[in-house]
Amino acid sequence: MRRDQNLKKVVQATINGDKEAVKSAISDALSAGVDPEKVIDEGLSKGISVVGEKFANGEMFLSQMIFAAEAVKAGISILLPHISKEKAEQIRLGTVVIGTVKGDIHDIGKNLVAIYLSTAGFDVHDLGVDVDPIDFILKAEEVNADIIAMSSLLSATRVYQRDTVKYLEDTGKRNKFLLIVGGRAATPEWAEQIKADGYASLAPDAVDLCKKLVLKRSKPT
Amino acid sequence: MSLRFLENLRRAQTGPYCKERNFDLKIFFSKLKELIKEHGIKFDPEELVPEDNSLAKDLFEAGLELFLHTGVYCKDTSRMIKFDETEVRQALRDAPSRLILGQGRDTCVMQARRIDGDTPLIIQGGPGGAAISEGEIYVKTHMSYVKWRAIHTLVSGCLPTVEGERVRAGAPTEILAAKREGSLVREAARRGGRSGMHIVGVASAATSRGGIAANDHENGYRPSDGRCIPILPELKTSFDTLCKVVNAVQYDTFIVSLSEPLVGGIAGWAEGTAVTSVATHIAGLLVNSAHYVHQGHLDLKYADSVDLKGIWISSVVGQAMTLNTHLLMMDDYWCRAGPCTEELLYQVAAKSVVSPCCGYSSVCGVGSTGNSIIDHNTGLEAEFMCEAVNAATGLKRGDANELAKTLFSRYEASLEKPPMGKSFQECYDLKTIKPSPEWQEIYERVKKEVENLGLEMG
């Protein structure tokens, strides 16, 4: 099979959210001598980008994005041993711990952000819902996270976003992690008030914000 | 029906087990996709209010099948609370078609209506869960709704602080806030001379503890009031939510089940959300023991229901439920713009022309700015909703369709970046609790323009 056909197969399998088809297409591509980095850039990334556009246009569902993201994750894990260290570092943008705060069990928006971050190249650890402030911090320490991302939908629960910031300040660990907030109860003013590093209302904005924060942090001062 | 929750609890502990992710993707989503295709459910932006009853029939069947397939997932036990068709249809037959809400001279009657019917709707006004500053601002904001006699019932806002202390869900401050909210809304009703009004809460109670604390015959939430209890998106519940049901049943108060599927979430877009909404209405009856159901789907991005998809979903779900059941439904008005803007009033008007002809028994609003900004809810937009809904009662679906599209065109351009407007304090006289001249002028101007479009606001 021609190499561009191999890549098209990877793209289509990603769009279809078919994990097994992605693995099989990648295996065929590698056997055919396609550069593994090309498989990522012109296969998986292209596929997930199409999915993102179709979701934004209302042509695909959130569930389909989840399947596609999982397929990309599976694909990347096959390709990682075959790519250069520089490329591996390039595609891995950082580590994010995400969750919905204590007392709040809304998660659909948070799940969407987690998928977008994952497909953008972040290593995402999703703690689920009703997450205690301390648990955000413990997980972030465990996985050496760059960012803690907290979602809150109710005004009675967004205060726990501030609690997490405060715990870090009180234990002298504030500079260890970047903190961003989102969810219907959070606003840019609230983020500023609690001294979070940023606020994002929509999933694509969360990706841009995380990329910006991680880049800023990695630049030598 | 009142002991339904014990049976539901048993099923929550014995029903089919599955991981939540599998429930979302394999059980819920796969079936939903299949049903949309099988029943030919299709969103047409040109036909916001379809007149063909076959869509309503198909939508109801799809929603029912979805519910029978998924049941309701209990997050605490990872099991599905499932029902068979016989018990669902029996519950729909047994559901109340008429309710007397409130007490004494402030009672009102909510009743099942029909498509294109001319029976008046019940108007529920209030901040509906939005954050409202504590103290006199809280009382006066609610009084701005109570003052309008045409608003029959009240729905409370939530307290973000109590005596300056931030309210935390599950913490002692939640208990304090829930009790304080009850006494403050009752005070607002009392000052407005309507102490027996049916008031729906408890917005400050994120958990069941606050809900239980708010039970107070004398000075808070009475049995003649109502409790909002959600079916969690999508088609889920939890022990804490079931605790709210138990409390409400034992307190013998009205249960208002919240149906709030998310457009752009797991349910997909317009078609999936409409099917899920029908299933969620049924779930509200079977699992939450609902007396009436809030139809309050939300856009995941903007937390509103006033774009074309949102208006269509309200319309078709209302029709589906009305043509196939006598369940009492309330159309919830989630708007993007804020008070003291003409965009907000046009958004309210677009929804208002649709609710009556689609069979809703009542409407609730207004969720200005999607309830995202503190103190950005006022009685005047609810009064506008009231006038517009009353004017639209008796309108036929075909006429409502054209009017809704025309009204939508008045705010379409502002949807991406809607004006957030002004706070209650900025657009109301806090002594007289009357709208500012600016807000009143906007109201009169938009009312006139809506009248010129063919809706006699009166």
A62 with B25: Cβ contact below 8 A: no
Which pLDDT band, with edges at 50, 70 and 90, does B1 fall under? very low
pLDDT at B373 over 60: yes
What is the rounded average pLDDT of the residues B439-458? 94
Distance from CA of B358 to the nearest CA of A (A): 26
Tell me the pLDDT tens digit for each residue of B137-157: 999 999 999 999 999 999 999
The pLDDT value recorded for residue B247 is: 97
The pLDDT value recorded for residue A1 is: 55
Cβ atoms within 10 Å, residue A74: 15
Distance from CA of A168 to the nearest CA of B (A): 19
A187 with B373: Cβ contact below 8 A: yes
User: Helix H segments across A80-145?
Assistant: 85-91, 108-120, 133-143
Identify any residues that bridge with B123 across adjacent strands, giving them in sequence order. Answer: B363
Of all residues in chain B, the one with the smallest CA distance to A161 is B168
Considering CB atoms only, which of B169, B232, B238 is closest to A103?
B169
A58 with B131: Cβ contact below 8 A: no
The pLDDT value recorded for residue A65 is: 87
The pLDDT value recorded for residue A119 is: 83
What is the rounded average pLDDT of the residues B42-53? 96
Which pLDDT band, with edges at 50, 70 and 90, does B121 fall under? very high
Q: Where are the beta strands (DSSP E) in B244-313?
A: 254-259, 262-263, 292-295, 298-299
Higher-confidence position of A21 and B458: A21
Of all residues in chain A, the one with the smallest CA distance to B260 is A106
The pLDDT value recorded for residue A121 is: 86
Q: How far apart are CA B157 and CA B344, in angstroms?
A: 19
The pLDDT value recorded for residue A220 is: 58
Mean pLDDT by 10 residues, chain A (221 residues): 85 94 94 91 91 85 87 89 81 92 91 89 93 96 97 91 95 95 91 96 90 83 51
Q: How does the average pLDDT of chain B come out, rounded? A: 96
What is the rounded average pLDDT of the residues B188-213? 96
Of all residues in chain B, the one with the smallest CA distance to A190 is B373
B169 with A108: Cβ contact below 8 A: no
Q: How many CB pairs under 8 A join A and B?
A: 79
Residue B442: alpha-carbon gap to chain centroid: 26
The pLDDT value recorded for residue B3 is: 65
Considering CB atoms only, which of A109, A156, A162 is closest to B300?
A109
Q: How far apart are CA B157 and CA B369, in angstroms?
A: 14
B167 with A187: Cβ contact below 8 A: no
Distance from CA of A184 to the nearest CA of B (A): 6
Residue B243 sits at the chain A interface (C-beta within 8 Å): no
Tell me the pLDDT tens digit for each residue of B307-333: 999 999 999 999 999 999 999 999 999
Residue A65: exposure state from Cβ atoms within 10 A (0-12, 13-18, ≥19): buried
Which positions in chain A touch B303 (Cβ < 8 Å)?
184
pLDDT at B287 over 90: yes
pLDDT at B56 over 80: yes
